Amino acid sequence: MTNMKNLFLATLSVLFLSLSAGAQEAEPLNLKNVLIVGQQDDLSDRYTLEVGLLQLFTDYNVKSKASLNVIKQRGTDEILLNDSIHQQLKSEGIDTYLLVSIRGYNKRFKPSENANPIVEEINAGHLYPLYRESASTVTFSFTFYRDMQPVHYELIKTGTIGSKDAVMKKLLKKVAKRLEKEWL
């Protein structure tokens, strides 16, 4: 009977610790500045995504910069990992990187347990376009990094979509809600 009681108390302790750890993850991101990195292979999709998010973050008084303004023409995202670029961005007051990619087009896509290191994420291939005719939803991955370490990861799903503009409109609406409630 004592072993059963000890097992119960140990299980209860583990449950309590995991719940309190989950509460820590719910802390606001306190987003003040951000470099937006749209991880799309198609340059027009990347431009659309980065500019849309840049305008939204600026509307919420978050100092923002699009990665397309940092990466030279025909350059790769790997340049963002360069220490001199990182220091230059810090001197401009930007210490947070936001990597945005499309993870899939269905409603069943589940988030991974942990955010990938920034080197892995930047080097990963991202072939999904912003809009695909047969898609019912688009699932976006938002990963924030500070000092090259992941600090926040979440998925944002848009609902039924009909065009690239509709995807962006729905995404920006959902991101605005995140900014108001969780990220600022």
Residue 168 pLDDT class (50, 70, 90 cuts): very high
Q: What is the pLDDT of residues 50-108, one digit of tens each?
A: 999 999 999 999 999 999 999 876 678 888 988 999 999 999 999 999 999 998 887 66
Which tokens in the block code for residue 148? Answer: 């090259």
In eight-state DSSP terms, residue 105 is: S
Token pair 């942990």: residue: 114
Q: Is the pTM value of this prediction over 0.85?
A: no
Token pair 């995504």: residue: 49
Which domains does the chain carry? 30-183 (3.40.50)
43-59 and 164-178 helices cross at what angle (nearest 10)? 30
Q: pLDDT value at position 16? A: 38
Token pair 């080197």: residue: 119
